[in-house]
């Protein structure tokens, strides 16, 4: 009997406490009244936008700034993650320009090995905005690189795109001829595109000390020889990158004669392979990606013709934990890439001839097809 009485008391107390809490909560809500957080959408709160949200259909993660016409001429460039974007755009039948297509006699499995079909021109990976600026200046005949023809096993390579001729060429003159042709095609590309999609990848870079010429990989890795007195390490900061991108747009406007264009910026979710800062690579990676993301955000917020697409956030979403990456925690899973592009096409429905394009352009290209010079540095950490 005593147990029954105690249980009833406990139930009465619990009910009383619950009612009091409910009244208190209601009173608190009334007391607080309207505030800037009242009525915000679910995506504005971590609990409903991330913890409880669907990482494969993130409501509100991306709202396009402008419409891309179905037949818009698209140019792509950037770090190695941008190769995924190029694949998927072509796979959806988008009009991705290719001003340096592979020669008819080159087998398809050699296309990427020699730098074809990766982007809209055969410039290889452009990891930094300084590289992008240099290329535009060179195409406009406003700047000349220095110390860029490197020797490799008795052959010669273009140090500004060192991976596109794996075996090298027979003479410096041949390298120079190849580059002249390449620059003519790049100028054509910069003149003709409607939309430029660029993926920011790195802040760390190696430069020729006297001229400031920046390379996509450290000299000595894919060709040439590293010498302390010839090369220096640079780590671009926010103001440097912002100024470089604005300078790039100035050059672009000159080349195009004022013809308008649109830009979509993304930030690569692929972490650094290694750092030369002297810090732990995790610190350097966070520092680098934070700066790149801030630059992209600033450009998007301040310039109407520039949009930011959150590929970085979609891949690194904590809701997915580590499932976005392969075992090395660097290479992005094919499914994660598809998730990124599904979010993109949910806003931009400009695809054409999808079934044909899937067959012709190889939309299902795997991680093994990616070419990333930076990844080779990992061998030195074994």
Under the banding of pLDDT at 50, 70 and 90, the label for residue 321 is confident
pLDDT at position 14: 53
Looking at the structure of the chain, the number of domains it has is 1
Under the banding of pLDDT at 50, 70 and 90, the label for residue 381 is low
Q: Is residue 27 part of a domain?
A: no
* pLDDT single digits (tens) 157-182: 999 999 999 999 999 999 999 999 99
Q: Is residue 35 part of a domain?
A: no
Residue 281 burial (10 A CB sphere; 0-12, 13-18, 19+):
middle
Q: Is residue 48 part of a domain?
A: no
Q: Is residue 6 part of a domain?
A: no
SS3 335: helix
pLDDT at 3 over 70: no
Domain that residue 330 falls in: 69-366
* pLDDT single digits (tens) 252-307: 999 999 999 999 999 999 999 999 999 999 999 999 999 999 999 999 999 999 99
pTM value > 0.85: yes
Average pLDDT over residues 94-99: 97
Q: Is residue 26 part of a domain?
A: no
pLDDT at 364 over 50: no
Q: Is residue 187 part of a domain?
A: yes
Percent of the chain with pLDDT over 70: 83
* pLDDT single digits (tens) 322-354: 799 999 999 999 999 999 999 999 999 865 544
pLDDT at position 322: 79
pLDDT at 24 over 80: no
Q: Is residue 16 part of a domain?
A: no
pLDDT at position 355: 38
Q: Is residue 29 part of a domain?
A: no
CATH number (domain holding residue 326): 3.40.50
């Amino acid at each position: 009997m005593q147990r029954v009485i105690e249980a009833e008391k406990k139930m009465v107390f619990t009910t009383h406490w619950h009612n009091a809490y409910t009244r208190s909560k209601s009173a608190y809500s009334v007391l607080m009244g309207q505030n800037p957080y009242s009525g915000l959408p679910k995506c504005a709160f971590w609990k409903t936008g991330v913890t409880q949200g669907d990482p494969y259909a993130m409501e509100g993660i991306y709202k396009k700034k402008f419409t891309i016409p179905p037949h818009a001429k698209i140019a792509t460039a950037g770090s190695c993650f941008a190769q995924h974007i190029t694949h998927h755009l072509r796979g959806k039948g988008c009009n991705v320009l290719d001003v340096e297509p592979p020669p008819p006699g080159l087998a398809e499995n050699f296309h990427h090995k020699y730098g074809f079909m990766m982007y809209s021109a055969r410039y290889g990976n452009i990891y930094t905005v300084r590289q992008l600026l240099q290329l535009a200046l060179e195409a406009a005949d406003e700047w000349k690189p220095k110390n860029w023809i490197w020797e490799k096993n008795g052959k010669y390579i273009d140090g500004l795109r060192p991976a596109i001729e794996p075996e090298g060429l027979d003479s410096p003159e041949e390298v120079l001829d190849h580059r002249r042709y390449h620059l003519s095609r790049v100028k054509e590309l910069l003149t003709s595109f409607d939309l430029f999609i660029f993926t920011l990848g790195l802040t760390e870079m190696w430069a020729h000390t006297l001229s400031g010429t920046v390379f996509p990989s450290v000299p000595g890795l894919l060709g040439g020889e590293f010498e302390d007195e010839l090369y220096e390490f640079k780590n671009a900061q926010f103001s440097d990158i912002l100024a470089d991108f604005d300078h790039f747009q100035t050059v672009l406007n000159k080349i195009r004669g004022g013809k308008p264009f649109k830009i979509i910026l993304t930030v690569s979710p692929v972490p650094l392979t290694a750092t030369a800062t002297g810090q732990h690579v995790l610190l350097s990676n966070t520092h680098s990606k934070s700066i790149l993301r801030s630059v992209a955000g600033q450009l998007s917020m301040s310039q109407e013709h520039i949009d930011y697409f959150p590929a970085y956030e979609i891949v690194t979403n904590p809701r997915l934990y580590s499932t976005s990456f392969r075992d090395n925690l660097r290479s992005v899973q094919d499914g994660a890439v598809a998730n990124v592009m599904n979010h993109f096409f949910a806003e931009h429905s400009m695809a054409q001839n999808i079934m044909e394009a899937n067959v012709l352009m190889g939309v299902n290209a795997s991680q093994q097809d990616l070419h990333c010079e930076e990844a080779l540095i990992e061998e030195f950490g074994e």
